[in-house]
Amino acid sequence: MPDVAVLGASGYAGAIAASLLWRHPHFELRHVTARSEAGAVLDEVHPRTRVPLLLEDYDPDVQGDVDAALICWPHRVSAPAVAALRERGVRVVDLSADFRLRDQAVYEDWYGSHGAPALFGAGVYGLPELYREAIAGADLVANPGCYPTAALLGLAPLARAGAIADLVIDAKSGVSGAGRSPSATTHYISADENMTPYKVERHRHTPEIEQELAVLGASLPITFTPHLVPLAQGELVSCYVTTTSALDDTQLADLYREAYEDEPWVEIKHGPPGVLEVRETNYCRISVHVDGRTGRVLVFSAIDNLWKGAASQAVQNLNLMFGRDESEGLR
C-alpha cells in the first residue's frame, strides 16, 4: 500500500482528507502536519476525524518519505513544498491555487509572485470528469478551487457545444469556505442570520474558471460573484448563460445526459439541487433549465465545498494517479 502524507491537516479540508485517507483501503496515512498545532493529536483538534495521529511540523525530509502527499496549504506557501516533495519523488495533489493556472502573468496578477517558478504550469488540472486520463499519468495534480469545480461541471457540456455567448455566475458558499482562522467574517455573530456578496469583481476563482472554460471552447470574460450564506458546508453556483443559439429542453437534457451518464459523481436532476443533498459527499448535483421568457439557460450546480470542492476530490485524484478505482474510499 502506498504511504501518504497530508500537509496542513489542521485546516478544514486537510482534516477531512486525512480522515478519508485514514480509512482508505489502499493508502496508508503516515504523516499529518500542522503549523501552529504541531504536537497535538489530530483527533483532539478535529474530533470528527477520529484520526489518532500526531500533528508534525513540516519537514520535507520527514514527510518526504512517502509515495504521495496532499498539500492543503494556502497559495504561494504551497509551491515551495510541492517542489521539495517532488524532488524527493513524492507524487503530489496540491489543493492550493499554485498549479492551476497556465498563464504565469495571470497568476502573478491575481496571486503575486509564484513560490516555485521552475515548476509553474507543471500540474495537471485535477477535475477528473474533464481530465481523467491526464490525471492518471500525472505526478503533480492541481486540485481545482471549490467554485471552479461546481461551475465547470455545470457548464462543461454547454462550453464544449460552443453554446456560451455570455455568462453570469452567482455563487453562494457556506462559512467553512472562509477557512479556519477566526476573523470578523467567520465570527458566528457576523455570519449567522446574514448573507452578503463578497470579493465583488475580484475573487481569485474568476481567472481559473475563465481558463478552463476557454479550454472547453468558451473564451469569454465572465461575471462571477460569490456570496456568503449562513451554513457550514455547501456551495451552490447559479449560472446564467446567454446561448449562441436557441436550445430547447430536449437538446439540453441530451447534452447533459451524454456528458454525465457514466460519471459516478455527477447527478443530473430534474428539479434544482439543494446543497444539503450533497453534504459530506463527493457528488456534484446539477439541474439545467431553459428560461422560456428570455431563452437563457440556467444551470444550478451544488457541491460540498470541503469535499468535492477540496478534500474528497483530492482523494479521487489520488486514486486515479495510483491506478485505483477513482471512487475508492469515498462512499
Binding site for its own copies (CB under 8 A): 12, 23, 47-48, 166, 168, 170, 172, 174-176, 180, 182-184, 186-198, 200-201, 206, 221-223, 225, 227, 229-234, 236, 238, 240, 242, 272-277, 279-281, 285, 289, 291-294, 296, 298, 300, 302, 331
CB contact at 8 A, 288 and 256: yes
Question: Could you tell me where the DSSP H helices lie in 112-145?
Answer: 128-136
CB of 294 to its own copies, least distance (A): 5
In the 8-state DSSP scheme, what is residue 54? B
End-to-end CA distance of the chain: 20
Length of the chain: 331
CA atoms within 13 A on the CB side of 185: 15
CB of 32 to its own copies, least distance (A): 18
Select which of 72, 146, 239, 284 is catalytic: 146
CB of 142 to its own copies, least distance (A): 23
CB contact at 8 A, 97 and 75: yes
CB of 262 to its own copies, least distance (A): 17
146 as an active site residue: the answer is yes
CB of 277 to its own copies, least distance (A): 4
Q: By C-beta, is 139 or 170 nearer to its own copies?
A: 170
**Three-state secondary-structure class, residue 174:** coil
Q: By C-beta, is 49 or 143 nearer to its own copies?
A: 49
Grid cell locating 94: 496540491
| Cα–Cα distance, 53 to 39 (Å, whole number) | 10
Q: By C-beta, is 138 or 209 nearer to its own copies?
A: 209
| Cα–Cα distance, 128 to 112 (Å, whole number) | 28
| Cα–Cα distance, 27 to 94 (Å, whole number) | 17
CA atoms within 13 A on the CB side of 319: 22
H or E, element range at 290: strand 284-290
Q: How many CB atoms lie within 10 A of CB 151?
A: 29
Q: By C-beta, is 57 or 249 nearer to its own copies?
A: 249
CB contact at 8 A, 129 and 266: yes
Q: Which residue has the cell 477566526?
A: 182
Q: By C-beta, is 188 or 323 nearer to its own copies?
A: 188
Q: By C-beta, is 113 or 183 nearer to its own copies?
A: 183
CB of 37 to its own copies, least distance (A): 11
Grid cell locating 233: 458546508
Q: Which residues contact 35 (CB under 8 A, 6 or more apart)?
A: 8, 10, 57, 58
Q: Annotated catalytic sites, by residue? A: 146
